[in-house]
Amino acid sequence: MRGVATNKKLREIIISQYHRDSKRNKTGVKKQLAKLKSNKTLKQNENDCFENEEMLHPREETRYNNFNTLFKTRSGRRALATLFDEAGSQISGEIVAILVALGKIASACIAYNLIEKLGRKTLILISSGVCGVSMLMLGIYFYFKENDVYIPEKVNIIPVIFIVTFTVVYSFGLAPVPLIIINELLPNEARSLGASIVFWTSNIVFFIITFAYPLVAEYLGIHVCMFTFSAFCFIGFVFVLFILPETKGKSYSEIQEMLNK
């Protein structure tokens, strides 16, 4: 065990030394590596050092995953629970909660087939677009309601429809697909670190929304929150449309080529 630990430490020292000196004297470093790591060829030594050097820099794929998680979290899902009673519909919150639960179950049943048939990018585009429209319509409804604009009783069912629509579409698009993309964009050696960064970002944004939503809703109005959520959904739509590549059926090397274009 002591010998294994010593060899591991020696390898770390070698890699660190290569990382520091490679830009000053590449030929000399290659000769040193050839002597110290005689069980490997020169090409293998270079590949080992390149892989370790790559791990020291922020990865572009992690940025893409952070953007996906940001739009997912800022879409308004966390604030839906408080909208049932604020909507003023004749349908009770318990019934709406049951409808939402049934919608989630249905979405979970069809999510896998949709992801494999439509592709990741298409599904996120559909989900973010529909969620954005749902939040926009909820924002308009609450704007009228908070400004004492007359709303016919028949129209009071509209917020319930959009809340259920949002929940269903979110459940088969924005909810599962970013988690899949995390595994497809990142290599095995960086996956755990990248996923940790993404989930930490998600939790921080979730805390900000949980803290800020009641304050913004009280002082500026619920409609401002809904319009903000809608804007993030549409920004996410544009980001996915023009920047995020389709990863369905692509190998890791193919995805890297698309990202580097």
Q: For 45-62, write each residue's pLDDT tens digit.
A: 455 544 444 443 444 544
The mean pLDDT value for 67-78 works out to 47
Please tell me the CATH code under which domain 60-259 is placed: 1.20.1250.20
Distance CA 155, CA 138 (A): 12
Nearest to 184 by CA among 108, 245, 101: 245
Q: Is the pTM of this model over 0.85?
A: no
- pLDDT reading at 18 higher than 70: no
Sign of CA dihedral 107, 181, 246, 63: positive
What is the CA angle 64-126-182, rounded to 5?
25
- pLDDT reading at 76 higher than 80: no
Q: For 106-154, write each residue's pLDDT tens digit.
A: 777 777 777 778 888 899 999 999 999 999 999 999 999 888 888 787 7
Split at pLDDT 50, 70, 90, the class of 2 is very low
- pLDDT reading at 28 higher than 70: no
Structure tokens at 163: 């809340």
Quick check: 91 and 155 in contact, CB under 8 A?
no
The radius of gyration of the chain's CA atoms, rounded to the nearest angstrom, is: 25
Distances (CA, A) of 116 to 111, 148, 187: 9, 46, 21
Model pLDDT, residue 235: 93
- Give the type of residue at 91: I
The mean pLDDT value for 156-177 works out to 84
Structure-model confidence comparison of residues 63 and 167, the more confident one: 167
Quick check: 185 and 247 in contact, CB under 8 A?
yes
Provide DSSP, 218-251. Answer: HHT-HHHHHHHHHHHHHHHHHHHHHTSPP-TT--
Counting residues of the chain whose pLDDT is more than 90, the rounded percentage is: 14
Give me the chain's average pLDDT, please: 72
Structure-model confidence comparison of residues 165 and 78, the more confident one: 165
Quick check: 244 and 185 in contact, CB under 8 A?
no
Model pLDDT, residue 175: 82
Q: For 79-117, write each residue's pLDDT tens digit.
A: 555 666 565 556 666 676 677 777 777 777 777 777 778
Q: How many CB atoms are closer than 10 A to CB 150? A: 6
Residues of the chain within CATH 1.20.1250.20 domain(s) are: 60-259
Model pLDDT, residue 55: 42
Model pLDDT, residue 54: 44
Distance CA 153, CA 242 (A): 42
Distances (CA, A) of 8 to 11, 14, 44, 260: 5, 10, 17, 33
The secondary structure of residue 74, as a DSSP letter, is T
